[in-house]
Structure 1
């Protein structure tokens, strides 16, 4: 409904007051505010990007906002997901977001979809909305959002964040490129760490999410120059913006239907390989590790393969830090071999995946060892609650 019948849209007296600063902008005015009221936007995710995006779309006067998310608010979210508050920890994010949106703008219609976006439901979910905004953090869902937007002919306002860097653009708009022009093929699973693994500056999604909100409003108003055909890159640490040009690839495969995007991105294959790898590794629980540490035996060595800054946050007593990156490069293998020297090797990380990878590399170098299931997270939860979780 990007071209609504504006004669059917009326503002209330309260709305004239609420949007007065919009109404006096020539580029918005009464007609533009009516367009915003008539518009509908579907936001995929209400996390770091979805939080500022939803706040500003509601404040701007978008008449109908849909939210797709199946997660609950976690304490670790609060550093960046500003739409949620402490009192909402453990409760559905979509409910938290709706409550906050209605605090900002009670007239906004909020549609909640407490589900995981999939190839089975995406087309039906997208159909009633004018603009789709991608606030997700994984490749399968990004490809799914893109392809569903192409098939339903919806603009896709895209953003992504990692550590101190973010990017934003508009896909599938007025003949412009789509996500597959930027990433024809997904990267191998595990090559790009998630924010949970690599961290993210809490302020960063505020910048990118507001850019997404700005692009959404511009599309609805039909004003200005959007980011279609331009990828905006933001470096928060050095406070720099730059742009890359994007063009449609004439040889890009035609999107005819939605597919299995987990399979497309190699997730099941990677999980199967990881599971097969783990079945060949010796494992121990954190309870067994605690018994061993308390026994006074000295015939073992405990290696922590997390990053140094993680080691500073929390550690298991007696663990020696040798980061996975050092083991992957080679020097760490020699350090481990020197430490082991006939002792039994035990390896842990945050949750068990990196330590399993380290042990697979060490095995190829002729060093066997045991993986601690659940890593230091399980240690904190089941053995020593004074060890911080992160």
Structure 2
């Protein structure tokens, strides 16, 4: 997929970057990526993938923008309170990069619609904040043979991994389903806004690596971030 003169200027820092180059940028332009959740993790993911020139960017989110979101969900604004997060994300992308085709899915991801939603994309990123939806996304991606970048945050900490066809799966990492009542909710325990930026940006990086073939994705590896200690650790799973 060729690049216009405007795109060559826009992505010039990628094009001169060894390991990406024009071929990698063309791969990004051809990519069809779906982001589940336009919240704390989805915001930096959407921002960096749109800036990177992903050709088609879809966002699934049934929620609306609220005032308490704005402490960490930086693609939304005060003027957008009460509007659909998916539509708000679309307005952000349109203002940032008119070369990106944005598709808003203002609905909740469920077992009933996941297969149809995923059929139009070749890479999935999950930034949702509940285990049930994450499990649905992982199973639908596995069934469709699609790679899935998965991130999660709580309070001062976060984690990110990649589930890829032929590699370790979501159930390898989480062999038992926890009781939702035992999982800390963001509105109860809180989350430092910048932590979602750290993990969301790492998720975007993994997506770019998967699309361009750059480096070694986090397949079978869980990257853990401790914000208070400023430390990263890694856990392997199989």
TM-score interval (norm. to shorter): over 0.9
Matching residue within 83, 90, 105 for 1:98: 90
Q: Distance in 2 between matches of 1:96 and 1:103?
A: 11
Aligned to 1:21: 13
Q: How does 1:151-162 map onto structure 2 within 5 Å?
A: 151-162=143-154
Matching residue within 215, 218, 223 for 1:227: 218
Is it true that 1:78 corresponds to 2:102 in the alignment? no
Per-residue Cα deviation, 1:150-206 (whole angstroms, up to 9, x for no partner): 1000101000000001000001x1521111111112112311111111100010000
Residue 204 of structure 2 aligns to a residue whose secondary structure is: helix
How many residue pairs match? The answer is: 238
Is it true that 1:11 corresponds to 2:11 in the alignment? no
Aligned to 1:205: 196
Per-residue Cα deviation, 1:321-366 (whole angstroms, up to 9, x for no partner): xxxxxxxxxxxxxxxxxxxxxxxxxxxxxxxxxxxxxxxxxxxxxx
Aligned to 2:117: 125
Q: Distance in 1 between matches of 2:39 and 2:87?
A: 13
Residue 103 of structure 1 aligns to a residue whose secondary structure is: helix
Structure 2 residue ranges without an equivalent (≥5)? none
Q: Distance in 1 between matches of 2:180 and 2:224?
A: 23
Matching residue within 115, 135, 138 for 2:130: 138
Q: Distance in 2 between matches of 1:245 and 1:193?
A: 24
Q: State the Cα distance separating 1:246 from its structure 2 match.
A: 1.1
Q: Answer 1 or 2: higher relative contact order, Cα 8 Å, separation at least 6.
A: 2
Q: State the Cα distance separating 1:95 from its structure 2 match.
A: 1.1
TM-score, length-scaled by structure 2:
0.99
Q: Distance in 1 between matches of 2:165 and 2:107?
A: 30
Q: How does 1:181-220 map onto structure 2 within 5 Å?
A: 181-220=172-211
Q: State the Cα distance separating 1:10 from its structure 2 match.
A: 1.2
Is it true that 1:112 corresponds to 2:104 in the alignment? yes
Residue 103 of structure 2 aligns to a residue whose secondary structure is: strand
- Structure with greater Cα Rg: 1
Q: State the Cα distance separating 1:23 from its structure 2 match.
A: 0.5
Residue 203 of structure 1 aligns to a residue whose secondary structure is: helix
Structure 1 residue ranges without an equivalent (≥5)? 1-8, 248-390
Matching residue within 140, 148, 152 for 2:140: 148
Give structure 1 regions of 4+ aligned residues with deviation exceeding 4 angstroms: none
TM-score, length-scaled by structure 1:
0.60
Residue 59 of structure 1 aligns to a residue whose secondary structure is: helix
Aligned to 1:239: 230
Q: Distance in 2 between matches of 1:138 and 1:76?
A: 18
Matching residue within 53, 60, 66 for 2:58: 66
Aligned to 2:26: 34
Q: Is the Cα contact below 8 Å between 2:160 and 2:222 reproduced in 1?
A: yes
Residue 229 of structure 2 aligns to a residue whose secondary structure is: coil
Q: How does 1:158-307 map onto structure 2 within 5 Å?
A: 158-171=150-163, 173-247=164-238
Q: Is the Cα contact below 8 Å between 2:131 and 2:180 reproduced in 1?
A: no
Q: Distance in 2 between matches of 1:161 and 1:204?
A: 7
